[in-house]
Each structure stands twice: as C-alpha cells, then as structure tokens.
Amino acid sequence: MLKLPIYLDHNATTPCDPQVMEVMIPYFTQLYGNAASRSHSFGWQAEEAVDYAREQLAKLIGAEPKEIIFTSGATEGDNLAIKGVFEMYAVKGNHIITCVTEHKAVLDTCKHIEKLGGQVTYLPVNKEGLIDLQQLEAAITPRTILIAIMYANNETGTIQPVKEIGALAKKHGVLFFTDATQAVGKIPVDVIKDDIDLLTCSAHKMYGPKGVGALYVRRKNPRVRLTAQLDGGGHEKGMRSGTLNVPGIAGFGKAADICRQQLETDGKRMSQLRNKLEKALLQLDGTYLNGSKTNRLPHVANISFNFVNGDGLMMGLNKEVALSSGAACTSASMEPSYVLKALGVADNLAYSSLRFSIGRYTTSEEIDFVIEKVMKVVGELRASQIAN
C-alpha cells in the first residue's frame, strides 16, 4: 500500500540507511570513547572506528585515507578549503575563480574573501548551467591561487566538466577545489583521475547521518596546505580542531561503503524512475526542463510549469509529495532561484519550477502517484486562472 507523503527531496537530505544506523548505535552507548584519548581502550576503539571510516570514504573517491579530514558537514568543508587556501597561499596570490551557480556555502565564503581584500571572478554559465572552459582559462592570472567549481548542481543536477577543469588548473599551477556534495555516492568520483586537489562531501546526502562531512586534501603532486579555521587541540592533522563525532563518522564510513557497492545499480534504477517521471510531465503543454539533459545526475529533474503560480503549485502538492521549489537552503526566500536565473530562465518560470530528486527507496508506484498528482494540480491551477 502506498504510504503518504512521498519523499522526492533527496538533494536536500536523504534518509539514514538502516545498516548505517546499526553501525552507529554502539558508539553512542558502549564504545563511547573520545578518539583523541590515547591512554585507554575506549579511546583506541573510537580511533579505530574513525580510521576505518577514513578508509571507506577514501575508497569511494579514489583518495588515500590520510587525505580525508572529517568536518561537521560540507559547509564547514567549503569554508575551510577556500579560506584555508586564501590564507596559506597569500604570498603567491589572492585571486579565486568560481561560478555564479555555486552553492551559497561557496558564494558567501567568496564574498567574505572579497571583504578581506581578495579578488574573485564569478564565471557565467550557459542555458544548460555549464561553464565555458575557454572563459575559465582566460580568467586565470599569475595571482590566481584557486579554482572553486562545484561537481554537480544541487538545483538542476548539471554536472560540470570536472576532468577538463582539473587539467586546466594543473596546467597553470592553480589548485582545484570542488564541492562534490551532490555527486559523491551518486556517480563515480575519482580525485586522482580528475586532478582534484580539494573536495567536500556530506554524509546526509548519501544515506548517512546529519552533522558530519569530509574535506579531501591532496597530499602529493601537489601537497596542499591549509590554514586551519578552528583553533584548539590540533585534531585532524591540525586542520580541524574539535572532538570528533565518532558515531557520525562511523555511520559516514558505512554509508560510503554502501554507496560504492551500489553506485551502478542505484544509479540505473533512479535514472529509469527519473526518466519515467520526466517523460510524463514534459508532455504537459508549457513545461520545460531546466539544466542539462545529458550532463546531469541520474536522479534529478528540475521542471518549470508555465501559466501556474509557484506558491499554489507547492501548496497543492506538499501534503502528499515532499519536494523543493529550489535549493532547500534558500527556499524560505521569495526571490526566484538565482541558479535558474543564471541559466536565463524567466522569472515566471523560475517561480513555477519544481526540483524532483529521487532516492534509493523511491518506488515506481510512488512515481506513478506523483505524475498523476502533479498533472492534476497543474490542470486545476491553470483552469482556475482561466476562470478568473
């Protein structure tokens, strides 16, 4: 039997996998030691759990365990990467290149850098949400120290040409940082093959717990150095002080392991469900797909419904279908999505856009219900507008 409401907002957060919960529980109740306590078995057990999780996450992204720094989430990782590079490489330069469709955690951090006297170039995107590699290369100067381009967009699912960006950065001796929060665990990510120097990800986007994330920091060719943003006991190789969230980290490791094993099968299944949903909804007159149709995540569809009031659309759906009208972090704002506006989407279409993000546990039956419900609500709203 169909259980309502149906959750199609997996880009905002994912449910914790039961296997992840199972791994975490002992570290709350029995193995509750501090991983920094080196004088007794409780601390040793906690440290062992952290080290194992480091190995599990490193294997998912093609890194070495020593290159994984645990954080409270991707936002902290974004701040540490950008501010840490800006301070550490100040002698070399003060110029950062990013993109207008980045997550606010990157954009707002770059605004902070500008207040400190740094220079930031914000690259535009085309109608698919992709940057122009020639524009990127042209923006590099002798004072450029970092290129910060996200792996996949949280609103549209568009995947940037990461491998090519990495190659350009390496060619010019510039560090490449990518916020891969939406990509890790969903599609294959390899930091070595893609010449990525810094990468952030978050457990709660990949069926792990909230409040724990990671920053990958390359150790060789080149060895990346960061100025710590939190002062304290020098945890995490001096890059991130603070007592480690051992239960969360253990869960993060397990979530990464499950994602690595199920990456291909999960991706294929979610892609099929997404395509089914998209094909049906795009048959409605006045509907438009936002972002790239080819270079995108397998589980995301961002669709605009013309001749429909966005608030009315969400109100008609949200009791039975949980989804987003933009990024969860900015959905309280009445402004149209800055990501969609950057793609050239008109305000009226940006206001009436929905982001459908499918998950590991989404069923075909649920997709059938959502298709029927969306079509019904859109039809009713358009009929009422004509009547008025």
Cα 360 from Cα 186, distance rounded (Å): 10
In a domain, 1, yes or no: no
Question: 301 has which bridge partners?
Answer: 356
Has residue 17 got a pLDDT over 50? Answer: yes
Angle at Cα 208 formed by Cα 294 and Cα 297, nearest 5°?
Answer: 0
Helices (H) and strands (E) in the chain, counts: 12, 12
- Residue 305 is part of a domain; what is its CATH number? 3.90.1150.10
At residue 117, the pLDDT reads 98
In a domain, 227, yes or no: yes
145 contacts: CB under 8 Å, gap ≥ 6: 85, 86, 89, 92, 93, 94, 95, 96, 174, 175
Tokens of 15: 């449910």
Has residue 328 got a pLDDT over 90? Answer: no
> How many CB atoms are located within 10 Å of the residue 116 CB?
11
Average pLDDT, integer, range 194-202: 98
Query: Are 239 and 289 in the same domain?
Result: no
Query: Are 103 and 220 in the same domain?
Result: yes
Cα 376 from Cα 73, distance rounded (Å): 38
Query: Are 297 and 206 in the same domain?
Result: no
Percent of the chain predicted with pLDDT > 70: 97
Has residue 136 got a pLDDT over 50? Answer: yes
Has residue 388 got a pLDDT over 80? Answer: no
Cα 89 from Cα 240, distance rounded (Å): 18
DSSP string covering 55-74: HHHHHHHT--GGGEEEESSH
Confidence category of residue 387, pLDDT binned at 50, 70, 90: low
329 a catalytic residue: yes
Contact call for residues 40 and 33 (beta carbons, < 8 A) = yes
Has residue 129 got a pLDDT over 50? Answer: yes
> How many CB atoms are located within 10 Å of the residue 37 CB?
15
Tokens of 25: 């529980």
Contact call for residues 320 and 262 (beta carbons, < 8 A) = no
In a domain, 156, yes or no: yes
At residue 157, the pLDDT reads 98
H runs (alpha helix) in 300-337? 310-317
The residue among 226, 257, 288 that closes a domain is: 257
Cα 214 from Cα 302, distance rounded (Å): 27
CA torsion through residues 171, 176, 178, 184, sign: positive
At residue 73, the pLDDT reads 98
Phi, psi of 83 (to 5 degrees): -70, -35
Has residue 331 got a pLDDT over 50? Answer: no
Query: Are 242 and 273 in the same domain?
Result: no
Confidence category of residue 337, pLDDT binned at 50, 70, 90: very high
Phi, psi of 282 (to 5 degrees): -75, -5
The residue among 257, 284, 310 that closes a domain is: 257
Q: Could you report the per-residue pLDDT of 252-272, keeping only the tens digit for each?
A: 999 999 999 999 999 999 999
| CB-count exposure of residue 352 (10 Å: 0-12, 13-18, 19+) | buried
Confidence category of residue 384, pLDDT binned at 50, 70, 90: confident
User: How many domains does the chain contain in total?
Assistant: 2
- 177-186, 304-313, 327-336 — which one is most confidently predicted on average? 177-186
Place of tokens 């990013």: 98
**pLDDT mean across residues, the chain:** 95
Amino acid at 142: P
Average pLDDT, integer, range 312-319: 93
> How many CB atoms are located within 10 Å of the residue 47 CB?
18
Query: Are 247 and 323 in the same domain?
Result: no
At residue 120, the pLDDT reads 98
At residue 311, the pLDDT reads 86
Q: ω into residue 222 within 30 of 0, thus cis?
A: yes
Has residue 330 got a pLDDT over 50? Answer: no
Has residue 1 got a pLDDT over 90? Answer: no
At residue 332, the pLDDT reads 53
Q: Where are the beta strands (DSSP E) in the chain?
A: 6-7, 68-71, 95-99, 119-123, 144-148, 175-179, 198-202, 213-217, 287-290, 300-305, 321-322, 353-357
Question: 152 has which bridge partners?
Answer: 159
At residue 386, the pLDDT reads 76
Cα 89 from Cα 175, distance rounded (Å): 10
| CB-count exposure of residue 260 (10 Å: 0-12, 13-18, 19+) | middle
The residue among 240, 257, 274 that closes a domain is: 257
Query: Are 251 and 277 in the same domain?
Result: no
What range does the domain containing 270 cover?
6-13+263-387
Has residue 333 got a pLDDT over 60? Answer: no
Query: Are 111 and 174 in the same domain?
Result: yes
pTM, rounded to two decimals: 0.96
Per annotation, catalytic residue among 110, 201, 259, 329: 329
Has residue 156 got a pLDDT over 70? Answer: yes
At residue 53, the pLDDT reads 98
Has residue 356 got a pLDDT over 90? Answer: yes
Q: Which of 314, 335, 312 is nearest to 323 (CA)?
A: 314
